[in-house]
C-alpha cells in the first residue's frame, strides 16, 4: 500500500516569512510528486510538480525531492495572507492515480 504522509498542522507563519511544508512517502518505485493548494470548500489547485531529486523553483514556491530519504517539501517564500489554505502532497507511483496525503493547513498571520 503506497502512502503519503503529511503533518495536518495547523502551521502558522508570519506574513513575509518562509513557510515550510513536508511530506513523506512509503514507496521506492517510480515516483512523481505534486503540491496542490486547496481553499476551504474548493477543489485542489496544482501549484508545483517535481519528478527528479533536487529543487525546483517557480516564483515564490520551491519544491524539493529527496528520493533516498523519501520526502518531498514545499517552501513558500514571502508568505502572503492569500497563501492561507490546505496544502496537499500527492504522489504518482508508476500507475495512473494520484495518492494524496491528508494535507497541511497553513495560516499566514498578518
Name the phi and psi angles at 41, rounded to 5: 80, 5
Which whole-number Å values give the CA distances from 34 to 8, 48, 60, 109, 110, in the listed order? 17, 6, 16, 25, 27
Radius of gyration of the chain (CA): 13
User: Can residue 58 be called a binding residue for other proteins (CB under 8 A)?
Assistant: no
Q: How far is the CB of 15 from other proteins (least distance, A)?
A: 27
Q: How far apart are CA 1 and CA 109, in angstroms?
A: 37
Taking the least distance from each CB to other proteins, the nearer of 72 and 79 is 72
Q: Which stretch in 14-22, 57-65, 71-79, 91-99 sits in contact with other proteins by CB under 8 A?
A: 91-99
Q: Using CB under 8 A, which of 22, 49, 70, 107 touches other proteins?
A: 49
Number of H helices, E strands in the chain: 0, 11
Region binding other proteins by CB under 8 A among candidate stretches 21-29, 54-62, 68-76, 100-108: 100-108
Judged by DSSP in three states, 83 sits in helix
Grid cell 523519501 is found at 70
- Note whether 88 binds other proteins by CB under 8 A: yes
- From 12-20, 43-51, 55-63, 71-79, span contacting other proteins (CB under 8 A): 43-51
Binding residues vs other proteins (CB under 8 A):
30, 32, 34, 36, 42-46, 49, 51, 88, 90, 92, 95-103
Amino acid at each position: 500500500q503506497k502512502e503519503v504522509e503529511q503533518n495536518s498542522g495547523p502551521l502558522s507563519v508570519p506574513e513575509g516569512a518562509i513557510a515550510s511544508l513536508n511530506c513523506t512517502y512509503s514507496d521506492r518505485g517510480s515516483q512523481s510528486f505534486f503540491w496542490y493548494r486547496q481553499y476551504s470548500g474548493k477543489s485542489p489547485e496544482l501549484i508545483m510538480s517535481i519528478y527528479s531529486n533536487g529543487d525546483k523553483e517557480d516564483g515564490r514556491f520551491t519544491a524539493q525531492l529527496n528520493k533516498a530519504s523519501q520526502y518531498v517539501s514545499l517552501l513558500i517564500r514571502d508568505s502572503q495572507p492569500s497563501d492561507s489554505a490546505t496544502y496537499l502532497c500527492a504522489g504518482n507511483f508508476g500507475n495512473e492515480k494520484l495518492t494524496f496525503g491528508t494535507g497541511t493547513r497553513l495560516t499566514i498571520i498578518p
